[in-house]
Amino acid sequence: MNPEEKAGWTPLPHSDEDLRIAREVPDTPQTRSPQYRLAWTDEDFMTRRELRPVRLQLELLKPEMYLAERGIRSTVVLFGGARIPAPGTPASLARNETQRRNLEANAKYYEEARQFARTCSEYSASTYFREFVIVTGGGPGVMEAGNRGARDVGAPSIGFNIVLPHEQAPNAYVTPDLCFNFHYFAIRKMHFIMRAKAVAIFPGGFGTLDELFETLTLIQTGRMERVPLLMFGKEFWQNAIHIEYLAEQGTISPEDLDLLTYVDTADEAWAVIRDFYQL
């Protein structure tokens, strides 16, 4: 007799055993009723407005558990445009000739993102892929380049996808068992930053700007430790955002300008990380 039985207590059946038993019950009007379903298997129930706090918790918990089980302690995050094509590939999402020309010119950043991910992943291999693991939003463009660079050197990489009308499928280079899907932007953002030891910002649009300013705000307000914030493409970003103007106007502190580091190549970016952490 085991200690639990001696104490008059026996463990409840495992949840998966409960599920098997629930599926084997006789087919009756009662068992066909939605109210009879186990709560966590009832999609109609789980998607009710009142269950939103539970869904938020589950989206935070699921990736956290799987990444912890893989032993992943830190990441390098790549943000950037989903529309930027690989070199030599037509810019299929361009809406006019100007966009096509500029997107195809910016394809150089796809290659820099891919090389940067390779370099980070080669270092990650020396930590048994526990540190500096590449993470992207799991989609096309710069995100694809990041996951692809990791796979080039046989390294795992993470994809944090989100359900959107125009961007549903993960790119083919995300490690399958590290490919997650989110409904809530807020929880996805938390997972991007929770383990980040560096954040690389490549040319992009609203989504990229959103992630940039979210990260800047967290660092500026002390809610996140300072990490290298690498702005790939100095000319692009200094045309897109006039950060110096904010400092001149007094709406940010002059020292806030130091939170951003402009780089143009993967080698420059890795040198910043290497020096910052004295690798």
pLDDT of residue 78: 98
Domain boundaries, the chain: 77-277
pLDDT, mean of residues 238-247: 96
Q: Which one has a higher pLDDT value, 265 or 36?
A: 265
The Cα–Cα gap between 217 and 211 comes to: 10
Range with the poorest average pLDDT among 28-37, 68-77, 142-151, 153-162: 28-37
Side-chain half-sphere CA neighbours of 199 within 13 A:
28
pLDDT-based confidence at residue 24 (cuts at 50, 70, 90): confident
The Cα–Cα gap between 178 and 147 comes to: 11
The Cα–Cα gap between 206 and 145 comes to: 19
pLDDT-based confidence at residue 6 (cuts at 50, 70, 90): very low
Question: What tens digit of pLDDT does each residue of 146-184 get?
Answer: 999 999 999 999 999 999 887 668 999 999 999 999 999
pLDDT-based confidence at residue 14 (cuts at 50, 70, 90): low
pLDDT of residue 257: 97
pLDDT of residue 239: 96
Its sign, for the CA torsion 181, 183, 185, 187, is: negative
pLDDT, mean of residues 248-264: 97
pLDDT of residue 8: 54
Asked if residue 55 has pLDDT above 90, the reply is yes
Asked if residue 233 has pLDDT above 90, the reply is yes
pLDDT-based confidence at residue 1 (cuts at 50, 70, 90): very low
In the predicted model, what is the mean pLDDT of the chain? 93
Question: What tens digit of pLDDT does each residue of 111-146 get?
Answer: 999 999 999 999 999 999 999 999 999 999 999 999
Q: How many CB atoms lie within 10 A of CB 194?
A: 14
- Which amino acid, 22? A
CATH 3.40.50.450: does it fit domain 77-277? yes
pLDDT of residue 166: 74
- Token digits of residue 125: 């291999």
**SS3 for 128?**
coil
Query: Can you give the pTM of this predicted structure?
Result: 0.90
Distances (CA, A) of 23 to 17, 26, 32: 10, 9, 11
Q: Which one has a higher pLDDT value, 84 or 3?
A: 84
pLDDT, mean of residues 239-263: 97
Angle, CA 259 vertex, CA 252 and CA 84 arms, to 5°? 105
